[in-house]
Amino acid sequence: MKYKRILLKLSGEALSGNKGYGIDPKILMQYSGEIKRVMDAGTQVAIVIGGGNIFRGTDAAAAGIDRVQGDYMGMLATVINAMALQGALEKVGLFTRLMSGIKMEQVCEPFIRRRAVRHLEKGRVVIFGAGIGNPYFTTDSTASLRAIEIEADVVLKGTRVDGVYTADPEKDPTATRYTRISFEEVYQMGLNVMDMTAFTLCKENNLPIIVFDMNKAGNLYRLIQGDDDIGTLIS
């Protein structure tokens, strides 16, 4: 196995499937199956999940809500997604722990770095909910930060697109996928991989990112086996 400990970032939107809103149980089960396969192969898996399928802080103004208030709503949305994913992972027979960036002791554990690492070592899937616990951040930044804290080998950003392209492949049919690209090139070309805070954290800590299509069966497994033709590796 190429990667022993991974941080998998899933967007909230991905969980909604084709509905664009809410949670599609079929997607939950599909992702859980993919995650089980890599857990069974012995890889330690930590997950950060977004909340965009329910609420984003940036939607707050349009809804007449204060931004900070909206960000906390977004963070709580990630906990709803995390709980849904936790349930699905347990259904396929995995042991899990949900750790939150905001204390909510009836629901889950608070994030404690050493404890998170211990859970991983014991073969539990660790889900980080509620982002970092602070407004004005994203779950991409949470993924970068937590990955650094738990010393993950790589951040795997599962998206709908199978990597980073020269242009938006949904708009430009001539766009081609990079299989490998440096942090510097991403900066120079202004490519959109993650928000700048998240991206800079990875760059400054030499933490590689792989953007890949999480919806294609077997992709996650092949990635951790070291198949370098999947997605785009940024390092």
CA–CA gap between residue 16 and residue 142 (Å, rounded): 21
- Closest by Cα among 182, 232, 231 to 203: 182
16 is in an annotated binding site: no
The residue (of 103 and 118) whose beta carbon lies closer to ligand UDP is 103
11 is in an annotated binding site: yes
Q: Find all residues with CB under 8 Å of 71, minimum gap 6, and list them.
A: 57, 60, 135, 136, 137
The residue (of 17 and 131) whose beta carbon lies closer to ligand UDP is 131
Q: Report the interface residues with ligand UDP, using CB under 6 A.
A: 11-13, 50-52, 56-58, 70-71, 74-75, 77-78, 131-132, 134-135, 137-140, 142
The residue (of 44 and 138) whose beta carbon lies closer to ligand UDP is 138
10 is in an annotated binding site: yes
70 is in an annotated binding site: no
Closest chain position to ligand UDP (CB): 50
- Closest by Cα among 47, 122, 55 to 86: 47
3 is in an annotated binding site: no
The residue (of 140 and 153) whose beta carbon lies closer to ligand UDP is 140
145 is in an annotated binding site: no
The residue (of 147 and 222) whose beta carbon lies closer to ligand UDP is 147
Q: How far is the CB of 67 from ligand UDP (least distance, A)?
A: 8
Residues comprising the binding site for UMP?
Answer: 51, 71, 132-139
Residues comprising the binding site for ATP?
Answer: 9-12, 52, 56, 159, 165, 168
Residues comprising the binding site?
Answer: 9-12, 51-52, 56, 71, 132-139, 159, 165, 168
